[in-house]
Structure 1
Amino acid sequence: MSGSAHGHTTAAWTGVTISFIGFLLAGVAMVIPSPILVIVGLVLALVGPGVGKMLSAAGYGKKVDTAPKVDTAKKTPVGTGASH
């Protein structure tokens, strides 16, 4: 996945950060016992992916590569015993 830069965008980082803060807030609120903060945290956790999608649609996501893909790797037939 590192070759495709999956998740290395402003949209992805923002969505994950908002969700993480929401889960963190909900977890702390469960220990404190504060039902209202638990609900606020869970709402934030659910809003995060939506914010990420909106930012991606606004152009902060992964750029679409329109160039045709060319496979330049040498292929060795299976079962020939040749090693790389």
Structure 2
Amino acid sequence: MAGSNHGHTTAAWTGVIIAFIGFCVAGAFMVMANPLGFWAGMIVVVLGGVVGWAMRAAGLGQPKATGTQQVRETAGAQS
């Protein structure tokens, strides 16, 4: 697993940080019994996924594996 670069990209870090902030906001408003704030936090969580996807599409994510590289990664994952 150390040979893979899973999640070590700008897109992944940004998406996770935004989603984490959304979870914190939603959790705080859930404790305060404020449904509107809770759902606003959940929207921020979804926004984190959208931002991560958009950054990946813009080239800031994990590069696509080539045919031989993909075969090696699959063989390494099975052993």
Q: Give the shorter-chain TM-score range.
A: 0.7 to 0.9
* Number of equivalenced pairs: 71
Q: Which structure dedicates a bigger proportion of its chain to helix?
A: 2
Gaps of 5+ in 1: 72-84
1:17 aligns with 2:17: yes
TM-score scaled by structure 2?
0.76
Shift of 1:67: 8.0
Spell out, residue by residue over 1:13-71, the C-alpha distance to the aligned partner (whole angstroms, 9 max, x if none).
11111111111110011111222210110111112111101000101101235484496
TM-score scaled by structure 1?
0.72
Identity value in percent: 48
Gaps of 5+ in 2: 73-79
Shift of 1:5: 0.8
Aligned counterpart, 1:58: 58
How much is the aligned-residue C-alpha RMSD, in angstroms?
A: 2.0
Q: Which amino acid aligns with 1:23?
A: F
